[in-house]
Structure 1
């Protein structure tokens, strides 16, 4: 089956004001409607989605490596707010007019941070991580996830060191394959998709595990913005079979209630919606953008 993974049409790096470089990759027409992709955990700019859709829909999909992953220089101690500052500069340098954003899995808080800082006009959260450290999930987390959330709250630096000790492309791949539902495993083990996914993971860890470790602390700690302040449209896409303990425990239900302009789409599927429902997700986002 074609899951829409394609080699990027263009690669690039943008220099930030502090001298660091931010790496990115693009699909679709260079003058298309810009959509910023915040990838999931432990992957890089190389893994896009909707390869059969972007050209036909006139979408310029831009996947950006977060600091310390892939082609983006490290930024020790970075925050979700720092991420928004980096992307603000990228938007200016690339002359991206009225971009939207997609946040997949652990990329969700990074995409929502862009909306909270007024940088995008719509967001699609796909099988997204929620604010697991929020009190609304006190009694809803799996025990091992609660332990991680508590460890980050107690000593974020020690937690980050622990994640770095675990983090590698092989370790994260094994975690994904052993914990995902069968429907997702069918996607991830497809020979063409697996090759693309593993290549993106290898690139993500090319500088070591520090970028992955920092991402995990930021995504699983308290967010530095209030979702209630996000005024732009947000589509939340979840599959009813999504059993990931680090996605939203209620499949986006409470987050939808917190966001002023949110629509929740609950599909009879698993968590690999980004690749199995890419056209539906992108065309809904495009409708907001236009």
Structure 2
């Protein structure tokens, strides 16, 4: 596995195709795609507040024959809101989405705050294999009480005591400008080297601006759900799950133990901790992640 060199250019491909579907209840789910239309379908559950437009691994996607599909979660980007939505509700949205688009054998990638959504899909049997990359763990789990930074522990406690008030607070706080600066500030040297590249920064900011295009409510709901207890048990997951973490990842809202506890909760999990990587390894190490996802 080739180590990422700090300062190396990271390509952020524009979507090859854009579209939307209408679910049975009338809600619109918007999607973006990269790679061949007849490739192996891989669903990307993107990170906090980023829209469907932020792809990854341009060369790997093309070279491995991957049909990468990113879908805006409800209330983000161009997908219609779904007040009161849940992680398990998202899994049912994806089940219907896959049926409407004929996506047989769907695999998944859950990045950062998108990881709990991807894991919910795996638990519901919607995916055939999953890669969790720099994934947010179940931060509300008691095992993390003493491991979380004070500021994250405060948010988790607030979500537990008064979810509605916490969601309103997240909405008042959320904006693409503030969130981008927080992501950069929380990252280590490896991650800042990616985030501050002009081309990547422009694509990342554009995806965040689109994520907030309907206002902050979608981001606020996402954040509440990832600060709360998960409504599914990871132990029920039966499909292969690869957990990918960078040893240099400093983000406080990913996993306090780089996925060690999560790996113990998922019977089918394999954990990879890359010593040279930070939290942005979805872009710096896309090829090995996708190779494992396709079956090694």
Q: How many residues align?
A: 288
Quote the offset at 1:4 in angstroms: 3.2
Quote the offset at 1:2 in angstroms: 3.6
- 1-side partners of 2:144 and 2:169: how far apart? 23
- Partner of 1:160, secondary structure, is helix
What residue ranges of structure 1 are gaps of 5+ in the alignment? none
Deviations 1:33-91 (A, max 9, x none): 00000000010100011111112111000001000000100011100111011111110
- 2-side partners of 1:125 and 1:266: how far apart? 12
Q: Which residue pairs with 2:46 in the alignment?
A: 39
- After TM superposition, the score normalised by the length of structure 2 is 0.96
- 2-side partners of 1:50 and 1:276: how far apart? 8
- 1-side partners of 2:195 and 2:13: how far apart? 15
Matches of residues 1-16 of structure 1 in structure 2 within 5 Å? 1-16=8-23
- Partner of 2:208, secondary structure, is helix
Q: CA RMSD in A?
A: 0.8
Q: Which residue pairs with 1:275 in the alignment?
A: 283
Which aligned segments of 4 or more residues in structure 1 are displaced greater than 4 angstroms?
none
- Whether 1:161 aligns to 2:188 is no
Matches of residues 178-257 of structure 1 in structure 2 within 5 Å? 178-257=185-264
- Whether 1:19 aligns to 2:26 is yes
Q: Which residue pairs with 2:127 in the alignment?
A: 120
- Whether 1:144 aligns to 2:147 is no
- Whether 1:29 aligns to 2:36 is yes
- 1-side partners of 2:83 and 2:49: how far apart? 17
- 2-side partners of 1:183 and 1:53: how far apart? 21
Deviations 1:122-168 (A, max 9, x none): 11000010000011112111111111000000011100000000000
Q: Which residue pairs with 1:92 in the alignment?
A: 99
- 1-side partners of 2:123 and 2:185: how far apart? 34
- 2-side partners of 1:231 and 1:97: how far apart? 17
What residue ranges of structure 2 are gaps of 5+ in the alignment? 1-7
Quote the offset at 1:18 in angstroms: 1.0
Deviations 1:79-112 (A, max 9, x none): 0111011111110010001101000000000000
Quote the offset at 1:178 in angstroms: 1.3
- 2-side partners of 1:120 and 1:274: how far apart? 19
Quote the offset at 1:119 in angstroms: 0.3
Question: In the alignment, is the contact (CA less than 8 A) between 2:9 and 2:197 conserved in 1?
Answer: no
- After TM superposition, the score normalised by the length of structure 1 is 0.98
Q: Which residue pairs with 2:295 in the alignment?
A: 287
